[in-house]
Amino acid sequence: HALAQPRGRENHAHEARATNLAETPQQVRDFLTDLAKRARPQGEKELAQLRAFAKAEFGVEELQPWDIAYYSEKQKQHLYSISDEQLRPYFPENKAVNGLFEVVKRIYGITAKERTDVDVWHPEVRFFELYDENNELRGSFYLDLYAREHKRGGAWMDDCVGQMRKADGTLQKPVAYLTCNFNRPVNGKPALFTHDEVITLFHEFGHGLHHMLTRIETAGVSGISGVPWDAVELPSQFMENWCWEPEALAFISGHYETGEPLPKELLDKMLAAKNYQAALFILRQLEVGLCDFRLHAEFNPQQGAKILETLVEIKKQVAVVPSPTWGRFPHAFSHIFAGGYAAGYYSYLWADVLAADAYSRFEEEGIFNRETGQSFLDNILTRGGSEEPMELFKRFRGREPQLDAMLEHYGIKG
């Protein structure tokens, strides 16, 4: 609030929106409220099913809020007993990485070529260049896939060099780092990935493409620079969709001994497990997102922050899982009080909506439709932070984003 007022903005929600994709705080609130309305009926059903399961299988008469995670895991195993270890043999490294490159080639006409004459910081690190159909070098990246001692955990994409036109007129091409922490090859077997790890690889490469395929030549807005952070996850979450498509899994997967692609019955189980308690998950994210947003949009310094009261009010509107009266969730909500997400926690769901809606155009026109891919490349991936992301999205989709595709992807009939 103190930051927003001197800049002539009503409150921190307006201040945060000034650098984000959503155009006004009201647009965000409408989006969150509409999503809550549409997801709630299914959330109530999911909770009723969990209560019935806990009673039938474990004799639990009354499910307490702190029991939910435990019995949900039990129910998920009961319904879709599928383990990562069953899936690993189908995702050897060469299949997953080359499958990713094949997807990118089919939709964008971009080819990845490995170079072995580039200095790297560890013998396992690989270096690739991306070329378009005119054989123009568009960008390059370091690929560091395996976990090892003293390496930071997790998976991320980072920019090594951004694209820019230098003072002497030459063009500096973009370079990215793609870093993961997957298991390395052991006992003569290739590195075998879980399906989640393949999704992670596609996700981070989506960020990488956004950085490397830029056509903007001004440093502050080329690639991922200057992209509002509720839009920066669009290219990455968007790329994940191909990991669930039988047509793509035909070449992304292949048993490391027999070459057989992932069997359909395993994929069906994975899809069902993916959407397990999807509505409850969305409602929880909405509860948190609305709480964050309203705290910042409605803050009045004269009255002080009504933090707990606001959360209780939102829970009545959104939550299907009751909370204990002594619960103090906001005390531990570090994302918005000690992190960078103030008035922006909703962006996780927002990116989900954008990615699903963008992908639904591919579902309509063909998931490997080259023209659709070119349109996404020209309107989203090449533009960096040079234009308003909502305008870019509308240019690609021909309209404002809609919730339907995201709900459908989660199996929610709202």
pLDDT for the residue 220 = 94
pTM over 0.85: yes
Residue 11 has pLDDT above 60, yes or no: no
Same domain, yes or no, for 97 and 62? no
Same domain, yes or no, for 220 and 305? no
pLDDT > 90: percent of the chain: 75
Supply the range of the domain harboring residue 243: 90-262
Same domain, yes or no, for 121 and 234? yes
Q: Is 241 a member of any domain?
A: yes
Place 346 in a pLDDT band, splitting at 50, 70 and 90: confident
- Give the CATH number, domain containing residue 72: 1.10.1370.10
- The total of structural domains in the chain comes to 2
Tens digit of each residue's pLDDT (9 = 90 or more) over 82-101: 888 899 999 999 999 999 99
Quickly tell me which residue has 């039990």 as its tokens. Answer: 74
* Averaged pLDDT of the chain: 92
Q: Is 216 a member of any domain?
A: yes
| Least confident window among 56-60, 221-225, 343-347 | 343-347
pLDDT for the residue 150 = 95
**Residues that are catalytic:** 204
Q: Is 396 a member of any domain?
A: no
Q: Is 268 a member of any domain?
A: no
- Give the CATH number, domain containing residue 202: 1.10.1370.40
Place 10 in a pLDDT band, splitting at 50, 70 and 90: low
Q: Is 352 a member of any domain?
A: no
Which segments of 59-112 does DSSP mark as H helices, in order?
68-79, 84-87, 93-108
Place 18 in a pLDDT band, splitting at 50, 70 and 90: very low
Place 4 in a pLDDT band, splitting at 50, 70 and 90: low
Place 20 in a pLDDT band, splitting at 50, 70 and 90: low
With CA atoms as reference, report the closest residue to 93 among 54, 132, 136, 146: 146
Q: Are strands 126-131 and 137-146 parallel, antiparallel or unpaired?
A: antiparallel
Same domain, yes or no, for 95 and 66? no
Tens digit of each residue's pLDDT (9 = 90 or more) over 137-179: 999 999 999 999 999 999 999 999 999 999 999 999 999 999 9
pLDDT for the residue 306 = 83
Tens digit of each residue's pLDDT (9 = 90 or more) over 98-126: 999 999 999 999 999 999 999 999 999 99
With CA atoms as reference, report the closest residue to 287 among 354, 194, 349: 349
pLDDT for the residue 409 = 94
How many C-beta neighbours within 10 Å does residue 103 have? 23
With CA atoms as reference, report the closest residue to 238 among 158, 356, 157: 356
pLDDT > 70: percent of the chain: 94
Residue 318 has pLDDT above 90, yes or no: yes
Mean pLDDT value across residues 360-368: 99
Q: What DSSP letter does each residue of 253-311 carry, written as one string?
A: ---TTT-PPPPHHHHHHHHHHHTTTHHHHHHHHHHHHHHHHHHHHS--TTT---HHHHH
pLDDT for the residue 239 = 99
